[in-house]
Amino acid sequence: MPVLHVPLLTFDELTVQRGEIPLCEGVVLDLSVGSICHLIGANGTGKTTLLMQLAGLLPIITGSIYYQGTAGVPVQPLYVSHQLGIHPSLTVAQNLTFLLNLYGISPSNADVDDALAWVGLQGFETISSSHLSAGQTRRITLARLYLLTPQVTPLWLLDEPFTALDVDMVARMETRLREFVGAGGAIVMTSHQPVGVANQVLDLSDYMV
């Protein structure tokens, strides 16, 4: 008998809702391993709200989410948001270590050095994060992508990850996203820029109330 393919993540008639106000209704999606889904839609359709629902930060009122055919998301997805979560009193290396500790990773000094070099922050390890620009601070949150694997967190939820990045860093990010899904992960991401690595699109404008 043929092996049935079960998507990693399924939306079944999902309502994207902010407080008591539904923004979109009946949202459907099948997201498979190896998929990078570009979440698009007009302003106010709830792109960030949907990512927060997937991350477990907002409730799902109507509809269901299934992970490998089972209701709910039992794994801890990686959620990279506009709210950076960087503590200004910690050094660059301390902030990155803290972000990785949240996923059970205790990086070595070499791991931290490599990840910071990947985002162009080599030499900044011991600098207080309060001295960084907004773009540099953003790169600390992205540095963890260098070390996280599908075995740790198979689902990445990325809200505007290319914001404040130069062309070279965007290219490095796209390479890393390909590597991650090629190793068994899946990604849902928003971006106002074109996403050349996306192989799937979900337009919330199609589901507006």
Q: What is the residue whose two structure tokens read 């796209």?
A: 174
pLDDT recorded at residue 18: 87
- DSSP summary character for residue 154: S
Tens digits of residue pLDDT in 96-122: 999 999 999 999 999 999 999 999 999
Residue-number span of the structural domain to which 183 is assigned? 1-77+153-209
Sequence-distant (6+) residues with CB within 8 A of 20 are none
Using DSSP bridges, classify how beta strands 78-80 and 186-190 pair: parallel, antiparallel or unpaired. unpaired
CA distance 73 to 8: 10
Tens digits of residue pLDDT in 29-63: 999 999 999 999 998 999 999 999 999 999 998 99
Total number of domains in the chain: 2
Same domain, 68 and 166: yes
Put residue 171 in one of left, alpha, beta given phi > 0 → left and psi -120 to 50 → alpha.
Answer: alpha
Average pLDDT of the chain is: 92
What is the reported pTM?
Answer: 0.93
Same domain, 4 and 71: yes
Summarize the confidence of residues 13-28 as an average pLDDT.
93
The residue out of 131, 152, 173 marking a domain boundary is 152
Tens digits of residue pLDDT in 113-169: 999 999 999 999 999 999 999 889 989 999 999 999 999 999 999 999 998 888 999
